[in-house]
Each structure stands twice: as structure tokens, then as C-alpha cells.
Amino acid sequence: MGKLIWHELSRYVSLTASIYAVWASFWGVFFRKFFWDFAGGILRDPGGIQPNPRISVFITLIVGIPVIQIMTIAIGLVIIALEWPFAPITRIAFHRSIPVRIILLIFQAVLAALLYQGTNAALWSLVAVGFYVIALGLNEKIAGSTGKVHRAGHP
Amino acid sequence: MIKSWFRREFLTPRRLFFNVLFYGTQLAIFAVGWYLQETNKRLAALNQLTYSVWVSRGAGLTLAFDAGLLLIPMLRNVIRVVRPKLRWLLPIDENIWFHRQVAYSLAFWAMVHTTAHYVNFFNVERTQVRRLSALDIHYTQAGGITGHFMLFIMLLMYTTAHHKIRHQCFEAFWYTHHLAFFFFLALYSHATGCFVRDSVQPDYIKSFPFYSTQHCLGYESWRFIIWPGIAYFVERIYREYRARRETTLSKVLVHPSGAMELRIIKPDFKYTAGQWLFLQVPELSRWQWHPFTITSAPEDPYVSVHIRQVGDWTQALGERLGCGPPVVAAMTKVAMDGVEKEDGFTGTRRDFVELDTDSVTRPSPRVRIDGPYGAPAEDVFDNEVAILIGAGIGVTPFASILRHIWYRQQRGSVGSLRKVEFFWVCRDAPSFGWFQSLLHEIELSQSDPNFLRINIYLTQKVKENMFWNIVVNDPGAEYDPLTLLHTRTMFGRPDWKRIYRRMQEAIEFGQYLPGREAQLRTRVGTYFCGPSALAAAIKEATQQHTTQSVAFSFSKEHF
């Protein structure tokens, strides 16, 4: 068996999941829907789904003002900047930390899972988390940037 | 960067043609899918969803087209058969490249299709054109479930197929890519939910395909695109069957440089020079197939491959055959020291060691071979001059080709081929000792000194002891001190432009091919195997020096 470097695989999964999260949340701003609104909600014709008033906080944060959507876009962009990596971010000390990535990805998964459009992004983020956890278990280290212009993705 | 991208994609006629045809077709199919949905009176209810449903139907039809194309470049046996007939039409050796282009398009249209459907289902729920919630369609209907499933499989397949992952752990890529089986099952059943219909409820029936086409008005694209899928499946079964045909490992030779030569006998295995095969040793791994270039000529009574023990599988194979890494390492070290003093310069390198299968305690392992496949070098004999260029390990296909040329020479049937120029660019010539002994045999047997010219370029930095070896032994000696060939080794990188310019001038002045008909165009075919940066440089040189009277062509071998 060739030796698979898990954090390198995870980087591609994490990038894909985060780009998906940004794209999905962008559409979520225009088509606002809380994913879990079926819980206790009633489907009415006409009118569509009528959410349970007990979850109105989510309805306010997603349908009222798209706060969750904007937060997901923000965190997605942060992860993309970290993974790509975006040159200025390589000056930050922890830009190579796997635990930081895991935490950000869990946040992204939780936020995206609240959105109608975000379930795949949430699931894929968790896959990336899983791969990063394996990488941690194998004591893998993310190789340092040379400080020069980064050409990530280019061999 | 953008400039060079533009030049590559749009200013090269062939590439421009491909781009216009490939992406143009996709856009046209998208437009057709859109138009047929928008103008279908029976789907008026769905058309209330406007743009999103038009986009999703268009993208869906394009996806069907792409998914149908996806497997065609992977039909290896079909390609091998049609290759000689279609070579003039399309660069058929670029099949994997085409597979990738289709996959990129597939990902793009999947994004468009999925995005549009998220809007569709959102609006279905809002306007209740159907009495369903969006999540019902996403997670309880066939279309939704298979769609999300396919996206997930694509995530795994695309990420593990990245060239970085493929190079560090081929198995991760290879095994994950077999999820394609489930991907295609999901693809063919994606439309079974009768989502596109003019009735209120899906119109299911008892017989195949379990929905009535009277009311289910999808494009039925699966009826067309399932055929490449079936063909691919049949081909995989056939490959498995063929690989199980009787195969015996008749001999194992170990060359002083450390390469193992496996001589395999398989009566029904027919191939042409320069092709390659997949080798499997079930005892080592039941599932792994490893590609190797065939080094024997079709005239030989056996099929041989040369294997260097560089990876874990090849090392395990060496271990199993009784010539494991320690044994070979010792031999390689001797060989790498270059030309051993005790050998003198009698002209031959020390011979290989044959491993007697009886003397090894265990019987030799079962092997299976699958192939042969590929190789553009099949058509060497159509040229007047063949330039064979091997870089590093890329020299292996030329072993078979040179042997084959030699056999044909003996029979006097070299076609229009008048001259062969063989270039070998490598970093450390001594480590390819087995190849040198082959070259040596061929060089000795040349009756016409002008037919084959061997040019060896050593790009490695020369060490001090090697340097003195050359200084002391080279002048006046009959054989080159490094390769033990008549041909002198040249040092440094070859200047391809100069080589091609000289050849073009020599041909035009009539020095190169005496008696050449001046009015005929001389065809010079270049066959290259090695890294792509070098390929680009050589290709440029061939294009630059093509004139009225000399036509240089270029083809690249793929591993």
C-alpha cells in the first residue's frame, strides 16, 4: 500500500465542502428556509409549510434576517482561506493547525445543517472532520509554507 | 498565465476544435433540454416554476450526455481494437485526459442541476403545485435520494482522484473509484420517481420500467446512456475471465543492475511491440493490477516484463521470488559503481543470473496478466525515419520495439523504415544495465551500420571516480566505458532544436537518406516516452522543423 497522507485528502474534502457551503448559503439568502421547520410544522395548501411557533428563533434568524446564511458564508470563506491557503493568512501562527480546522469545520457543519440548502455541505464537512481526526491520530503534520508565493494545488 | 491558457485552449487548432465541439455540444444539449421543457404544454403546471425548472431540465439532459461519455474512454479493449483505425481522427491515446474533461463538465453541470432543483423544490413547497414539502422530494423520492447519493460518491471519487492523492496512494484512488458502480446504478434509476409528469400522482405500473411513459414525461435518457455502462461492465467481466486463462511464470532472471525479468507464457496472449499489460500476483494482493511495459518482441516465445524493485509491491514480489531487496541491493551497488575494474573491457557486462524455479524452496507463484493495451509506437514502420526517445524509465517500451525491429530486419520486412535514431536521456545509465545488455545485443547484430544509431545522454552530475574512469578508459577504447556500447555516451541535456534542425537539413541535402526521392515528402516519426515537460519541448522542435519536404510527427507514450 502506498502511504495515504490523510490531511492532504482531507484538505480537498474540506475545500469542496466549504465551497459548497458558501454557494448553498448564498442561494439560502434568496430562498430562505429553515431545514428543520417540518418538526411540528403543518403543510398547508396554499401557503406551504407553517412552522411550529416554538422554533420561531430559527425562523427569525434564517427567514426573517439571513443571519445564519451570512455566518455560514463567512466561516466557509475563512476555511477556504485557511486551506487554499490565502497568502496573508500564512503569517498567522496557527494556520497549519489541524485542530483549528476541525473546530471550524464542526462550526460550519452545525450552521449549514440549519439551512435548507446546507445539508450536503454539513455532511461533507463532517467527512473532512473525520479525515482530519484520522490525520491527528496518525500524528501527521501539515507541511509549512515556504513564505514564498503559494501555489497550492500545483505540484 | 491567462495569456498562455488562452493560447493553449484557443489558438491551437486541434484544441480549439475540441473545445468548440465538446463544450458547444453540451451547451446545445442544455438549450434543447430547456426548450423542450418550456414549450411542453402538458408540463404547464411544472412550468409555473419558470427558470429554475428550465435550467434543471437542461442541465439534467447535459448530465445524461456527460455520464454517457464518461465510461467510453475507459473501454480499454475497445480502444485497443479501434485505435489503429481512428488514430488519424482523434488523439485516442489521450483517453484518460478525455475522461477527466468529461468528469470536470459533469461536476459543473451537477452543480447547476442541483442548485436549480433546490430552488424548484423550495417553490413546490411554497406554491404547492404539488402537495409536498421540499424535504419530501429531497429525501423520500427516488430522484432526490439517488441525487444526493451520487453527489456524495462524487465527493469521494473526485477528491481521491486528485493527482497528488493518486501518486501517494494509488490504492485509495483505485478502490474508491469502484464506487462508480453504485454511482451508475443511482444514475440509471435517478428518473424512476416519475418527477416530470402531467398527472397529479406518479403513474407507476407493474412492468419494467415501473412507470408509464404516458404520464411520466422525462427525457428517458437512461435508455441511451446505459449502453456504455453495460459495455464497460461486460468488458470488466471479460478482462477478469481472460486474466484467468492459463498463465505460467516460466523464468525469472535477475540482472546485475537489480531489475527482475519475468518471462511469462500465455498462449492466447497476442500483442504488438510497445504495448503494455497489467500484472497481478494473487498471492501478494488479490485485487491489485500493476501496469508494466512488455519488453519482449511479439516474435519471442514468451512475454517478458522488467521490474525494478522500487515500490512495496515490487519489493514484495522480489522477496517472494527469492531475489528480495537485500540481494538486489548488493547487486545494484556493484552495478552502480559503474564499470567494475575486474570486468575489464571485454565488451560485455556481467550476465544476468537465472533463478532456477526448482532450487527455490517454494514453487513459483501464480501470475495473471491482463492486456495488452495502448502504445502509439505500433506504427513505427510507416515512417522512413523513426526517432525513438526514451527518458529515464520511459525507455522500457523501446526494448520491445527495438527487438521487434531487429526481428523484422532479420526477415527483411522493415516496411518503409530506412533508419532508426534511438535517443536515451537518463540520469544514471548504470542502473539500467539490463537495457544496456539488450542494446548491446542489437548493436552487435547490426549488419548495416547506418540503420540504427544509438544516442545516449547522461544528465547526471559525474562523480569524481566516474570521471577518472572515463578519462582513463575512454580515449582509444573500442567501447564506451560507461555503457560498454560502441556508441559514446554524451553528457548533459540534448539540445532538441539543434538535433531536429540538423536532421531536417541533412535529409533535405540528401546526405541522410541516400537515394531519397526528392519530390516525396519524408516522414519522420518521433516516439517519446517520459516526462511531459520534455515531451512539450520535443513536440515544439518537431513542429518548428516540419517543412515542405520533411514531415515530423510526434506521439507520446502513456503509462
pLDDT for B175-197, tens place per residue?
999 999 999 999 999 988 888 88
Touching check for B149 and chain A: CB below 8 Å?
no
Which of chain B's residues have a Cβ under 8 Å away from the Cβ of A16? 155, 158-159
Q: What is the DSSP letter of B50?
A: T
Which three-class secondary structure state does DSSP give residue A149?
Answer: coil
Residue B442 confidence (pLDDT) above 70: yes
Residue B545 confidence (pLDDT) above 60: yes
For residue B268, count CB atoms less than 10 angstroms from its CB and return exposed for 0-12, middle for 13-18, buried for 19 or more.
exposed
pLDDT band at B341 (very low <50, low <70, confident <90, very high): very low
pLDDT band at A68 (very low <50, low <70, confident <90, very high): very high
The C-alpha cell of A78 is what? 475563512
| Interface probe with B: pick from A33, A138, A154, most Cβ of B within 10 Å | A33
How high is the pLDDT of residue B517? Answer: 59
Which of chain A's residues have a Cβ under 8 Å away from the Cβ of B161? none
Touching check for B181 and chain A: CB below 8 Å?
no
| Interface probe with B: pick from A6, A10, A23, A43, most Cβ of B within 10 Å | A43
The C-alpha cell of B207 is what? 412492468
pLDDT band at B348 (very low <50, low <70, confident <90, very high): very low
Helical segments of B128-221, H only? 134-140, 142-160, 163-168, 170-177, 180-188
The C-alpha cell of A132 is what? 482530519
SS (H, E, C) B476-539: CCCCCCCCCCCCCEEECCCCHHHHHHHHHHHHHCCCCCCCCCCCCCEEEEEEEECCHHHHHHHH
Write the pLDDT tens digit of every residue in B111-133: 999 999 999 999 999 988 888 89
How high is the pLDDT of residue A146? Answer: 46
> At residue B92, what are phi and psi to the nearest 5 degrees?
-75, -15
Percent of chain B at pLDDT above 90?
A: 26
The C-alpha cell of A82 is what? 485557511
Touching check for B169 and chain A: CB below 8 Å?
yes
Nearest in space to B399 (alpha carbons), one of B275, B486, B485, B482 = B275
Residue by residue, DSSP assigns B388-415 as EEEEGGGGHHHHHHHHHHHHHHHHT--T
- Looking at the partner chain, which of A1, A49, A117 has a beta carbon nearest the beta carbon of B171? A1
Which of chain A's residues have a Cβ under 8 Å away from the Cβ of B133? 38, 43, 48-49
3-state SS of chain B: helix, strand, coil percent to 5? 50, 15, 35
| Cis, bond preceding B282 (omega within 30 deg of 0) | no
- Looking at the partner chain, which of B127, B135, B165 has a beta carbon nearest the beta carbon of A9? B165
Nearest in space to A117 (alpha carbons), one of A52, A68, A65 = A68
Between B109 and B257, the more confident residue is B109
Pairing verdict, β B522-529 and B385-391: parallel
Tell me how close the Cα of B285 comes to any Cα of chain A, in angstroms.
10
Given an 8 Å threshold on Cβ–Cβ distance, is A27 in contact with B119? yes
Nearest in space to B442 (alpha carbons), one of B391, B404, B393 = B404
Given an 8 Å threshold on Cβ–Cβ distance, is A16 in contact with B155? yes
Which of chain B's residues have a Cβ under 8 Å away from the Cβ of A122? none
pLDDT band at A154 (very low <50, low <70, confident <90, very high): very low
Query: Which residue in chain B has the smallest CA separation from A13?
Result: B159
From CA B432, how far away is CA B255, in angstroms rounded?
A: 9
Touching check for A82 and chain B: CB below 8 Å?
no
User: Are B397 and B537 contacting, i.e. CB atoms less than 8 angstroms apart?
Assistant: no
Give me the mean pLDDT over the B407-421 stretch.
80
Give me the mean pLDDT over the B422-430 stretch.
75
Residue B24 confidence (pLDDT) above 90: yes
Identify the H or E element spanning B305.
strand B303-307
pLDDT band at A65 (very low <50, low <70, confident <90, very high): very high
Residue B422 confidence (pLDDT) above 80: yes
Residue B556 confidence (pLDDT) above 90: no
- The pTM of the full predicted model, rounded to 2 decimals, is 0.81
Pairing verdict, β B276-280 and B385-391: unpaired
How high is the pLDDT of residue B68? Answer: 94
- Looking at the partner chain, which of A2, A13, A124 has a beta carbon nearest the beta carbon of B169? A2
Give me the mean pLDDT over the B139-155 stretch.
95
Residue B347 confidence (pLDDT) above 50: no
Radius of gyration (C-alpha) of chain B in whole angstroms:
29
The residue written with cell numbers 536515451 in the block is B424
Touching check for A13 and chain B: CB below 8 Å?
yes
How high is the pLDDT of residue B450? Answer: 74
* A and B: number of Cβ contacts within 8 A: 81
Provide the phi-psi class of B274: left if phi over 0, else alpha when psi is between -120 and 50, else beta: left
- Looking at the partner chain, which of A2, A8, A27 has a beta carbon nearest the beta carbon of B171? A2
The C-alpha cell of B387 is what? 526517432
- Look up residue A55 and give its amino acid: I
Residue B416 confidence (pLDDT) above 80: no
> At residue A53, what are phi and psi to the nearest 5 degrees?
-60, -20
Write the pLDDT tens digit of every residue in B52-111: 999 999 999 999 999 999 999 999 888 888 877 777 777 777 888 999 999 999 999 999
Touching check for B315 and chain A: CB below 8 Å?
no
**Residues β-bridged to residue B294:** B305
Tell me how close the Cα of B144 comes to any Cα of chain A, in angstroms.
12
Mean predicted lDDT score pLDDT of chain A: 89
Query: Which residue in chain A has the smallest CA separation from B172?
Result: A4
**Residues β-bridged to residue B306:** B261
Identify the H or E element spanning A44.
strand A42-44
Percent of chain B at pLDDT above 70?
A: 82
pLDDT band at B198 (very low <50, low <70, confident <90, very high): confident
How high is the pLDDT of residue B358? Answer: 47
pLDDT band at B419 (very low <50, low <70, confident <90, very high): confident
Residue B453 confidence (pLDDT) above 70: yes
Residue B331 confidence (pLDDT) above 50: yes
Mean predicted lDDT score pLDDT of chain B: 82
From CA B328, how far away is CA B326, in angstroms rounded?
A: 5
Given the candidates 3.40.50.300, 3.40.1350.10, 3.40.50.80, 1.10.287.130, the CATH classification of the domain at B376-556 is 3.40.50.80
Beta-carbon contacts of residue B354 (< 8 Å; ≥ 6 apart): B251, B252, B253, B254
Residue B473 confidence (pLDDT) above 70: no
User: Are B247 and B369 contacting, i.e. CB atoms less than 8 angstroms apart?
Assistant: yes
Residue-range domain boundaries for chain B: 5-141+193-242, 248-336+350-373, 376-556
- Looking at the partner chain, which of B111, B125, B169 has a beta carbon nearest the beta carbon of A3? B169
How high is the pLDDT of residue B95? Answer: 86
Touching check for B140 and chain A: CB below 8 Å?
no
How high is the pLDDT of residue B415? Answer: 73
Query: Which residue in chain B has the smallest CA separation from A153?
Result: B164
From CA B46, how far away is CA B34, in angstroms rounded?
A: 13
> What is the b/e burial string over B501-531, where b = at least 16 CB atoms within 10 angstroms of the residue's CB?
eebbeebbeeebbeebeeeeebbbbbbbbbe
Provide the phi-psi class of B59: left if phi over 0, else alpha when psi is between -120 and 50, else beta: alpha
Nearest in space to B96 (alpha carbons), one of B30, B171, B177, B168 = B177
User: Are A127 and A17 contacting, i.e. CB atoms less than 8 angstroms apart?
Assistant: yes
Residue B481 confidence (pLDDT) above 80: no
Total number of residues shown for chain B: 559
Given an 8 Å threshold on Cβ–Cβ distance, is B155 in contact with A9? no
From CA B291, how far away is CA B277, in angstroms rounded?
A: 6
Percent of chain A at pLDDT above 70?
A: 92
How high is the pLDDT of residue B558? Answer: 63
Between B244 and B516, the more confident residue is B244
- Looking at the partner chain, which of B122, B151, B163 has a beta carbon nearest the beta carbon of A31? B122
User: Are B385 and B525 contacting, i.e. CB atoms less than 8 angstroms apart?
Assistant: yes
Given an 8 Å threshold on Cβ–Cβ distance, is B159 in contact with A4? no
The residue written with cell numbers 418550456 in the block is B38
Lowest model confidence (mean pLDDT) among B254-258, B298-302, B411-415, B474-478: B474-478
How high is the pLDDT of residue B462? Answer: 65
Total number of residues shown for chain A: 155
Touching check for B168 and chain A: CB below 8 Å?
yes
Given an 8 Å threshold on Cβ–Cβ distance, is A46 in contact with B127? yes
Q: How many CA atoms lie within 13 A of B185 on its CB side?
A: 8
The C-alpha cell of B531 is what? 516526462
Given an 8 Å threshold on Cβ–Cβ distance, is A48 in contact with B127? yes
How high is the pLDDT of residue B376? Answer: 60
- Looking at the partner chain, which of A5, A17, A47 has a beta carbon nearest the beta carbon of B168? A5
Nearest in space to A131 (alpha carbons), one of A153, A106, A103, A102 = A102
How high is the pLDDT of residue B180? Answer: 95
Give me the mean pLDDT over the A19-23 stretch.
97
Nearest in space to B430 (alpha carbons), one of B469, B388, B397 = B469
- Looking at the partner chain, which of B118, B134, B159 has a beta carbon nearest the beta carbon of A12? B159
Measured CA distances, B345 to B148, B238, B471, B477 (Å)? 69, 51, 14, 9
From CA B54, how far away is CA B273, in angstroms rounded?
A: 52
Given an 8 Å threshold on Cβ–Cβ distance, is A46 in contact with B128? yes
Touching check for B134 and chain A: CB below 8 Å?
yes
Q: Is the dihedral of CA A92, A96, A97, A100 positive or negative?
A: positive
Which of chain B's residues have a Cβ under 8 Å away from the Cβ of A115? none
User: Are B345 and B274 contacting, i.e. CB atoms less than 8 angstroms apart?
Assistant: no
Given an 8 Å threshold on Cβ–Cβ distance, is A46 in contact with B165? no
Prediction ipTM score: 0.92
pLDDT band at A148 (very low <50, low <70, confident <90, very high): very low
Given an 8 Å threshold on Cβ–Cβ distance, is A2 in contact with B125? no
Lowest model confidence (mean pLDDT) among A11-15, B298-302, B509-513: B509-513
User: Are A63 and A32 contacting, i.e. CB atoms less than 8 angstroms apart?
Assistant: yes
B248-336+350-373, CATH topology level: Elongation Factor Tu (Ef-tu); domain 3 (2.40.30)
Tell me how close the Cα of A93 comes to any Cα of chain B, in angstroms.
26
Return the axis-axis angle of helices B142-160 and A119-137, rounded to nearest 10°.
30
Between B137 and B374, the more confident residue is B137
Lowest model confidence (mean pLDDT) among A18-27, A73-82, B24-33, B368-377: B368-377
- Look up residue B244 and give its amino acid: R
Which of chain A's residues have a Cβ under 8 Å away from the Cβ of B134? 33, 116
Touching check for B311 and chain A: CB below 8 Å?
yes
Lowest model confidence (mean pLDDT) among A98-102, B50-54, B445-449, B498-502: B445-449
